[in-house]
Every structure is written in structure tokens, then in C-alpha cells.
């Protein structure tokens, strides 16, 4: 099967699915809840060495968010984990990678199907014919399903419908803004969103060319890279990229330095999947968003999921409604989690907990 779909291919193949996607009333991009244009003039990525030849490409905060990437140098080409939300971001990282090695990029791994982790694949595919794009079998399916959630071909179509409306709203907000700071912020966000729409219109998404349905070890040149499939979590197709010798793991959004995005997730499975991950020997985590973290951050992040689920079950047993939970639980869990989950400008505790409660209510309490 070809690895690149055009928008037209997709429209022909799934017109009905597109109509269904357009009918969704919420535009809920993973990880783009809050605007932040403060650092828009800075470099898009900071390449941070975490071990010899292993880098965390930490994304600067943007209104149209980018994920982090992991960059793994080997003597048989470079492996890049995740490709951000748009080709221009992937190109920015590609150029940074070229400044540290002359090796070609031979492999991309997509940790999951969300828009901000795969929409830049095409840059690498175009630059390196023969590029291998690796993902779980389930992630590849999600990328081509009409109803998978916040990513994939269908989601590009959905964004093409919704981003113009977002631009219109930003324009209206800008017209009525009076505070100079607020105006500057809205202007920057509007510019980013217009540029993003243009990239969406030109997008020629590159799908995975190789899928795995269980944990595998790749021996790439001198480097041992394990792709771990440990169960459902942030999505039903998450993989973790584990470097046993260097004791580093790249986690995608199954473990981040922000509040989790749960809309396409499986909260109770997620806890068990993180239990399984914890059994591996590693010291550093390259998360999907936020900064490089020590292993003990896993327990903190998992603790939030565990405590949220337990608090919701308890409240439900006491007869609380969803609205009551949304009123009481944020303050109840704040002492333990607000500070640690609000260390970055995006994905902060108060921005996301309401949505987390709504989603967990459907998935854990109502078992929808
Ligand atoms: Zn993400
Ligand atoms: Zn995600």
C-alpha cells in the first residue's frame, strides 16, 4: 500500500466519513487548549542531549502546538520519534539534526496517531526516499479511520473545515481587544493559525510504511532500540521507544509533563500500561510534551490518573452528578497535582481538569 495519500484520494474514499467528522461539534485538538505566543520568536526546538548520540528535541510553546521529538543517532542513519503538527516544524527540526550529523534520516517512529505527532512525516518522506515510517498496527489503522479522534487523515479534513472558523473568531477577538498585550497575543495567534491553515491545505500526509503489533527490538547499526507495546493508554495504539543501554524512554503522550489529554484514551488501562513501563530500567524520559523528566515522574503522572479515577468513583457512589464532580474534584486534587501539572505554559492543571473529568466520566463511570 502506498505511503502517501492525497486529500483527494481521501475525499473519494470516505465522503460519508467526512460528513460525519464535520458534524462533530467540538474542535478538540490534542494539546492546544491554551494560547501562548510569548516565545513565538524563539527557535522552535531545543536539541537537548540526554545520552551519547541521543537528543530530546524540546518544542517551544506555540498556539498551534508541536510535540517533542526524540532524535537517535546511529551509524546506520538517524531515527526520529514523532514529527510534530506540520511540515514546517518537521523541516525546522530536520535542519537542526543536519547541524549535528551528516547521516541521513532513515526511520521515523510515530508514537500514536494524534495530529501533533505525525503531520510532519511528509518532510522526511520527501527528503529521504526509502524512509521507513514505523508505528503500531493500530496507529496505522487510526490514521486512516474516519472516526479515530484527534488525528489522522479524517482529522486533517475536519481541521480544514474548522480552522477557518477559528481564524474568523481570532479576527473578531482581535478587533474587539483593547489591552495591548492581549492584542499582540491575538495577532500572533492569528498569524500562526493562518500559516497553519495554509500548511493543512498543502499537506500530503505520509502514512506508516511498517507496522508492529507487539514489542520488537530493532538493531539499527550500533544501536538497540525497542518498540514497546504495553497496552492501551493515551490511545489504543501507543508505543514507547526504549533504549536499554542508554536507559532512556520516549513516551509520546502516554506520559507527559503536562496534564494528560484523555479524549482518545483508556484511563484505567492507562494506569496498568504505565505500571508495565515502570518495570523497565531507565533513568530519563523524553515525554511527548514538556521537558526531559526523571523516572520518578512516572509515579506522579500515574498517581494523577489513579487519584482522579478513585475520586470520581467515590463521588459517583455518593450520588454526585458530573456537574458536582466538576465543581468539587479540581480543588480536591489540587494540593497534590496543581503545581506539578502546571510547570509549562500549556496543558496546565486548571486548563484541563474539567475536560479530564468530563471524559473520565464517560469512559470510567458511564463506561461509554
Ligand atoms: Zn501531543
Ligand atoms: Zn496525543
Instruction: Give 263-279 pLDDT, tens digit per residue.
Output: 999 999 999 999 999 99
CA–centroid distance, 319 to ligand 2, in Å, is 32
Q: What is the pLDDT of residue 42?
A: 57
* Residues shown for the chain: 368
pLDDT-wise least confident of 26-30, 133-137, 190-194, 240-244: 26-30
Residue 14 pLDDT > 60, yes or no?
no
> Which residues crowd ion ligand 2, with CB under 5 Å?
30, 114, 253
Exposed e or buried b per residue across 25-64, where buried means at least 16 C-beta atoms within 10 angstroms of its C-beta:
eeeebbbbbebbbeebeeebbebeebeebbbbbbbbbbbb
Q: What is the pLDDT of residue 9?
A: 42
pLDDT band of residue 192 (cuts 50, 70, 90) is very high
Q: Which ligand sits nearest to residue 65's alpha carbon?
A: 1
pLDDT in tens, 32-80: 433 444 444 458 999 999 999 999 999 998 888 999 999 999 999 999 9
Q: What is the pLDDT of residue 43?
A: 82
CA–centroid distance, 67 to ligand 1, in Å, is 5
Q: Which ligand sits nearest to residue 112's alpha carbon?
A: 2
- Whole-number mean pLDDT of the chain? 90
CA–centroid distance, 133 to ligand 2, in Å, is 18
Residue 111 pLDDT > 60, yes or no?
yes
Q: Regarding predicted confidence, which is higher, 11 or 359?
A: 359
Q: What is the mean pLDDT of residues 166-170?
A: 97
- Cα 147 → chain centroid: 17
Give this prediction's pTM: 0.89
- The owner of cell 522526511 is 124
CA–centroid distance, 238 to ligand 2, in Å, is 9
pLDDT-wise least confident of 39-53, 183-197, 211-225, 301-315: 39-53
Instruction: Report in angstroms the alpha-carbon separations of 305 from 53, 234, 323.
Output: 33, 11, 19
Residue 29 pLDDT > 80, yes or no?
no
CA–centroid distance, 320 to ligand 1, in Å, is 31
CA–centroid distance, 352 to ligand 2, in Å, is 14
Q: What is the pLDDT of residue 16?
A: 33
Q: What is the pLDDT of residue 21?
A: 34
Q: Regarding predicted confidence, which is higher, 199 or 32?
A: 199
CA–centroid distance, 261 to ligand 2, in Å, is 7
CA distance 322 to 343: 27
Q: What is the pLDDT of residue 63?
A: 87
CA–centroid distance, 172 to ligand 1, in Å, is 28
Q: What is the pLDDT of residue 40?
A: 43
Amino acid at each position: 500500500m502506498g505511503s502517501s495519500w492525497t486529500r483527494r484520494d481521501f475525499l473519494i474514499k470516505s465522503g460519508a466519513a467526512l460528513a460525519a467528522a464535520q458534524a462533530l461539534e467540538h474542535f478538540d485538538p490534542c494539546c492546544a487548549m491554551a494560547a501562548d505566543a510569548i516565545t513565538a520568536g524563539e527557535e522552535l526546538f531545543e536539541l537537548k542531549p540526554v545520552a551519547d548520540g541521543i537528543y530530546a528535541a524540546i518544542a517551544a510553546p506555540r498556539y498551534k502546538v508541536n510535540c517533542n521529538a526524540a532524535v537517535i543517532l546511529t551509524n546506520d542513519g538517524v531515527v526520529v520519534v514523532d514529527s510534530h503538527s506540520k511540515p514546517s516544524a518537521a523541516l525546522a527540526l530536520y535542519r537542526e539534526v543536519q547541524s549535528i550529523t551528516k547521516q541521513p534520516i532513515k526511520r521515523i517512529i510515530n508514537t500514536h496517531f494524534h495530529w501533533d505527532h505525525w503531520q510532519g512525516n511528509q518532510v522526511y518522506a520527501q527528503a529521504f526516499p526509502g524512509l521507513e515510517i514505523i508505528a503500531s498496527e493500530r496507529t496505522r489503522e487510526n490514521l486512516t479511520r474516519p472516526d479515530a479522534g484527534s488525528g489522522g487523515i479524517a482529522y486533517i479534513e475536519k481541521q480544514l473545515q474548522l480552522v477557518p472558523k477559528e481564524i474568523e473568531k481570532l479576527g473578531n477577538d482581535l478587533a474587539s481587544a483593547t489591552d495591548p498585550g492581549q492584542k499582540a497575543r491575538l495577532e500572533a495567534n492569528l498569524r500562526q493559525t493562518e500559516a497553519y491553515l495554509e500548511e493543512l491545505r498543502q499537506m500530503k500526509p505520509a502514512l506508516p510504511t511498517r507496522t508492529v503489533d507487539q514489542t520488537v527490538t530493532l538493531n539499527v547499526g550500533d544501536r538497540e532500540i525497542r518498540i514497546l507495546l504495553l497496552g492501551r493508554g493515551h490511545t489504543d495504539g501507543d508505543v514507547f521507544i526504549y533504549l536499554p543501554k542508554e536507559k532512556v524512554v520516549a513516551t509520546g503522550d502516554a506520559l507527559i509533563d503536562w496534564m494528560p489529554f484523555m479524549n482518545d484514551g483508556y484511563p484505567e488501562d492507562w494506569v496498568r500500561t504505565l505500571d508495565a513501563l515502570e518495570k523497565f530500567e531507565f533513568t530519563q524520559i523524553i515525554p511527548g510534551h514538556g521537558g526531559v523528566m526523571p523516572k520518578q515522574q512516572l509515579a506522579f503522572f500515574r498517581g494523577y490518573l489513579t487519584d482522579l479515577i478513585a475520586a470520581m468513583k467515590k463521588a459517583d457512589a455518593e450520588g454526585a452528578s458530573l456537574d458536582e464532580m466538576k465543581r468539587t474534584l479540581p480543588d480536591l486534587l489540587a494540593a497534590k497535582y496543581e503545581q506539578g501539572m502546571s510547570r509549562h505554559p500549556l496543558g496546565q492543571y486548571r486548563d484541563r481538569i474539567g475536560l479530564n473529568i468530563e471524559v473520565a466520566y464517560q469512559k470510567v463511570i458511564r463506561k461509554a
